């Protein structure tokens, strides 16, 4: 283990879940925000865009083997299925590298990495997970400390099994009460984004808690941790509970001792919300923090409504959209595209008739991949077009032409807007 630089922790102050997980990963009793440490990695996650095509040349120069192939996961999700020769070559490079380096946890065409890694049971509470993608923090919904790193840093992790980190401060976000019928976790996060701004939690851990969060299904919790990066956070995280224990048990994961924040843990800030006050929100172009109430944002015509991405194509997302779309049809002026976040989600939605409801409403079903969210294929926007999307980013040009616009909203708001052809408050249909 390399030397870590940390100050002795004060025994009188409790520790957050993030501080405890990093202390375990460093093999020390306790850490404090600001400590700079070398930590042992439990799981390293890459995809076809950030993975072998970028790190293989560095590793070949080093001539070093992968430290532990069983702790590496590669999910081909950005360029699958390939739509041109370049993408096909990227897939070949990814596939061949995984095979040569004995990485058995390789998945292609099975969905988006942040969802697949959870579905496969690779994530457990208390883990330190690093991923070469900005939304790696998604896994924090299971009580893991999951952080994004660059491809060059990932090359170092693959050789040493360690990562260099600064222990972050934590912001505690507390939601209490019951959500109104047309409000979703996406609205919860957009409220936070509007209040904090895109850098309001820079290099801090956003720790979610409260009765509202405890009452959310896992799919909705994943939205909160997935999008923490959109306020500049190092990660999003929440305490594992019985729902998480049951989820892991169903996947044959051994029982892990849960890591929880102490009651007297120190936070840089505590933000509290009443869920009953929440109403459907939308992030207007070109930033996730450009937030307005849906009731005040419309009617803005949209040429595309997109249900997909790691934050908006999960089972609960598609079921929620289908509630709005049942016995209704999308406006002829708006194309409705649906990309399930994984193959397993697609299979479940097929078996339960959710896909049929969406297709009857005029939806085109796309492969389970990143797709239009990252502006890669099937759903690209033309000049002047607008899209309302359940994905996580709406930066200028992200989904196509630089002069197109993307509005971010919950799956229910996306579905309601598809029906009307303009940005629409879902409470009209609930």
> Among candidates 260, 314, 253, which has minimal Cα distance to 124?
253
Return d(Cα 147, Cα 130) in angstroms, integer.
5
What is the structure's pLDDT at 69? 97
Q: How far is CA 388 from CA 44, 183, 223, 262, 270, in A?
A: 33, 16, 17, 40, 31
What's the whole-number mean pLDDT along residues 119-137?
Answer: 97
CA 57 to the chain's CA centroid: 28
Tell me if 413 sits within 8 A of 294, measured CB to CB. yes
**In sequence order, what DSSP letters do the residues of 272-301 get, joined into one string?**
EEEGGG---EEEPTT-TT-EEEHHHH---B
Q: For residue range 256-286, what is the model confidence (pLDDT) as tens digits?
A: 778 999 999 999 999 999 999 999 999 999 9
What is the structure's pLDDT at 6? 47
Q: For residue range 229-263, what is the model confidence (pLDDT) as tens digits?
A: 999 999 999 999 999 999 999 988 876 778 999 99
**pTM for the full model?**
0.95
Residues 6+ apart with CB under 8 A from 198: 230, 231, 232, 287, 288, 289
What is the structure's pLDDT at 173? 98
Relative to beta strand 106-108, strand 72-76 is parallel
Tell me if 31 sits within 8 A of 169, measured CB to CB. no
- Residue ranges and CATH numbers for the domains of the chain are 19-165 (3.30.499.10), 169-277 (3.30.499.10), 281-428 (3.30.499.10)
Band of the pLDDT at 1, cuts 50, 70, 90?
very low
The 10 Å CB-count burial string (b at 16+, else e) for 321-339 is bbbbbeebebbeebbbbbb
What is the structure's pLDDT at 326? 98
Band of the pLDDT at 385, cuts 50, 70, 90?
very high
What is the structure's pLDDT at 12? 45
Return d(Cα 40, Cα 425) in angstroms, integer.
47
What's the whole-number mean pLDDT along residues 306-320?
Answer: 98
What is the structure's pLDDT at 332? 97
Q: For residue range 164-218, what is the model confidence (pLDDT) as tens digits?
A: 999 999 999 999 999 999 999 999 999 999 999 999 999 999 999 999 999 999 9
What is the structure's pLDDT at 9? 45
Q: For residue range 51-75, what is the model confidence (pLDDT) as tens digits?
A: 999 999 889 888 889 999 999 999 9
* First-last CA distance in the chain: 56
* Average of per-residue pLDDT values in the chain: 95
Return d(Cα 385, Cα 405) in angstroms, integer.
6
Q: Pull the structure tokens for residue 64.
A: 């070093």
Whether 2 has a pLDDT exceeding 70, the answer reads no
CA 279 to the chain's CA centroid: 22
Return d(Cα 248, Cα 218) in angstroms, integer.
11
Whether 7 has a pLDDT exceeding 70, the answer reads no
């Amino acid at each position: 283990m390399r030397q870590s630089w940390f100050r002795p922790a004060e025994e009188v102050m409790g520790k957050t879940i993030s501080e405890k997980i990093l202390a375990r990963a460093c093999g020390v009793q306790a850490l404090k925000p600001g400590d700079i440490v070398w930590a042992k990695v439990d799981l390293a996650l890459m995809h076809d865009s950030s993975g072998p095509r970028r790190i293989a040349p560095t590793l070949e120069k080093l001539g070093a083997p992968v430290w532990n192939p069983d702790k590496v996961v590669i999910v081909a999700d950005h360029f699958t299925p390939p739509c041109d020769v370049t993408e096909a070559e990227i897939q070949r490079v990814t596939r061949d590298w995984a095979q040569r380096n004995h990485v058995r946890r390789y998945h292609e065409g099975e969905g988006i990495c942040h969802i697949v890694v959870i579905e496969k049971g690779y994530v457990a509470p208390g883990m330190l997970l690093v991923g070469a993608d900005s939304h790696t923090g998604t896994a924090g919904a299971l009580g893991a400390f999951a952080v994004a790193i660059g491809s060059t840093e990932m090359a170092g992790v693959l050789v040493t099994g360690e990562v260099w980190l600064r222990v972050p401060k934590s912001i505690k976000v507390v939601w209490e009460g019951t959500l109104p019928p047309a409000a979703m976790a996406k609205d919860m996060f957009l409220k936070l984004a509007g209040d904090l701004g895109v850098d309001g939690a820079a290099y801090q851990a956003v720790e979610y808690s409260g009765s509202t969060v405890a009452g959310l299904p896992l799919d909705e919790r994943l939205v909160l941790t997935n999008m923490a990066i959109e306020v500049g956070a190092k990660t999003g995280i929440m305490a594992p509970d019985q729902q998480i224990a049951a989820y892991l048990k169903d996947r044959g994961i051994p029982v892990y001792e849960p890591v929880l924040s102490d009651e007297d843990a120190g936070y840089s800030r505590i933000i509290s919300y009443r869920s009953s006050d929440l109403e459907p929100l939308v992030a207007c172009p070109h930033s996730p923090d450009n937030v307005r109430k849906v009731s005040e944002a419309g009617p803005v015509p949209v040429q595309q409504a997109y249900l997909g991405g790691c934050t908006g194509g999960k089972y609960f997302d598609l079921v929620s959209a289908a509630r709005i779309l049942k016995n209704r049809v999308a406006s002829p002026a708006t194309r409705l595209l649906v990309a399930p976040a994984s193959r397993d989600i697609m299979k479940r939605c097929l078996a339960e008739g959710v896909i049929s409801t969406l297709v009857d409403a005029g939806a085109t079903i796309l492969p389970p991949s990143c797709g239009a969210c990252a502006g890669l294929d099937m759903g690209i926007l033309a000049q002047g077009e607008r899209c309302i999307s359940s994905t996580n980013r709406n930066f200028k040009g992200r989904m196509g032409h630089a002069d197109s616009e993307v509005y971010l909203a919950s799956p229910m708001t996306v579905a309601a807007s598809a029906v009307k052809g303009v940005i629409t408050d879902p409470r009209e249909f609930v």
